[in-house]
Structures are given as structure tokens and as C-alpha cells.
Amino acid sequence: MHLNLTVGEPIAPMPRLCPSGSFPALSVVIRAALLSGDVRAEIRAETARQIDAFEQAMGCRPDFIDGHQHVHAMPGVRSPVIEELVRRAAAKRAEGDHAGPPVPYVRDPSDSIAAIRARGVAVRKAVLISGLATGFGRVVRVAGLATNQGFSGVSPFDPARDFAADMRRFLEMPGQRHLVMCHPGHIDDTLRRLDPVVESRETEFLVLSEGRWSEGHQLVRFADL
């Protein structure tokens, strides 16, 4: 599930964070969440609504949760998101519900500066994201949720790049439970209206489908891990 707090409109009104009715930019979300308990309460409620909507649409709980622009791991935002995930996991255990994963796997978008520099792909962007997400993985693990240890895949979204070569770089200096982010997909008019960065998605889809990057790796369903 891809938590969204920065594009389009919330499922229900969020007057403190979204007085205009639409989500603000990521920097505004972070600042508002850091400064206002009311905003954090709205974020927790919207997190719950989006997970409920996912479950109703898919007929199952999410195996994996991350956030658009890594918003789930940002300062101020991370606390209400984690609180809601912990609450839901506790309720599931109390109900004796063993369907699906015991807790969702939550993406930690941070990694060491040395590893980011060694890979050499979108270094400044990856360092910025990692810096903002500092400490998130530790907080997730203390809360009893599952997360990766090691992260790569931050991309310049340039469709002219050799994505197969980038994928091989993303696997350099992996963490103990390394996670590589990618954005494969097919482009349509709806996506173009929502996301200004779309042209590289088709390239990523083709490379991942054809396995030209794999060198012994294998694609499997996340739930099977």
C-alpha cells in the first residue's frame, strides 16, 4: 500500500493539514506535522482510512506499506503512521485473526552514505532522503513492525538511462535485508495528470520483465518472502 499525503485530495476532510481540500507539498506536510498535534491526529486518521480503503478494494490486508515521496518516514509524520500500524496489529492479534502477515512490512528509505556514494546513482537525492529518514528503521523495529535493513533504488527518473545497469548498481553494498525501490508501470492519461515523472516507468517495467539485470536473482511475490 502506497500511503499518500502529498498528491490530490484526502479521503475525508483534513482541515488543519488541507484547508484548501488538497494535500500540500511534502515540505509543508513535514513542517505542519512537527508543529501541530492536531495535524498528527489528522494524519493518523487518514492513514487508517487509506488502509481501510485498500483492504476493501483488495480483500486483504497490505503485505507492504510505504509512502509517496517517502512521506511515511518523514519527521513528524512517522509517529502517527507507526501508532496506527501498531494499533491495527494489536487489534488483529486480539481478534485472533491470523490471515495474512502478522504485521505489515514497512519501508525504511535510509542507508549509509558510503553505500549511496559507492552506487553512484542520484547521490544527492538519495542522501537527502536518507537524512530525512534517519532513525525511522530503529523506531519501526522498536514498535515491533518489520522493515528492511539497507535501501537503494533512488533514481533520477531519466528514461534515457540504462536502468538494467542501475539495477545492478542498486545491489552493490547491500544491507542485511536489502530493499531496492523501483517504479515499473504502464502510462495512461490518469497517471500523467497525477505524476509529472512517468516516462521511465515503461523502461523499468521492460527491464524487470525481461530479467536483463538479474545475474542470478529471481522475482517472486513479496508475500512469499
SS3 33: helix
**All three cell numbers of 206:** 521492460
Which neighbouring-strand residues pair with 2?
66
Kindly tell me the sign of the dihedral angle through the C-alpha atoms of 85, 152, 219, 158. positive
Measured at the CA of 174, the angle between CA 216 and CA 100, to 5 degrees, comes to 80
Predicted confidence at residue 6, as pLDDT, reads 96
Predicted confidence at residue 220, as pLDDT, reads 78
Question: What is the DSSP-derived secondary structure letter of residue 149?
Answer: B
Predicted confidence at residue 98, as pLDDT, reads 64
**All three cell numbers of 188:** 495512461
Predicted confidence at residue 31, as pLDDT, reads 98
Residue 76 sits at φ, ψ, to 5 deg, of 85, -40
Predicted confidence at residue 24, as pLDDT, reads 97
Number of Cβ within a 10 Å radius of residue 104: 21
Question: What angle do helix axes 163-170 and 199-210 make, rounded to 10 degrees?
Answer: 70
Q: Which residues fall within 8 angstroms of residue 69, CB to CB, at 6 or more apart?
A: 6, 26
The tens-digit pLDDT sequence of the chain (225 residues) is 999 999 999 999 999 999 999 999 999 999 999 999 999 999 999 999 999 999 999 998 898 999 999 999 999 999 999 999 999 988 877 877 666 666 789 999 999 999 999 999 999 999 999 999 999 999 999 999 999 999 999 999 888 899 999 999 999 999 999 999 999 989 999 888 878 788 889 999 988 888 777 777 777 777 776
Q: What is the pTM of this model?
A: 0.90
Question: What is the DSSP-derived secondary structure letter of residue 93?
Answer: H
Distance CA 110, CA 107 (A): 9
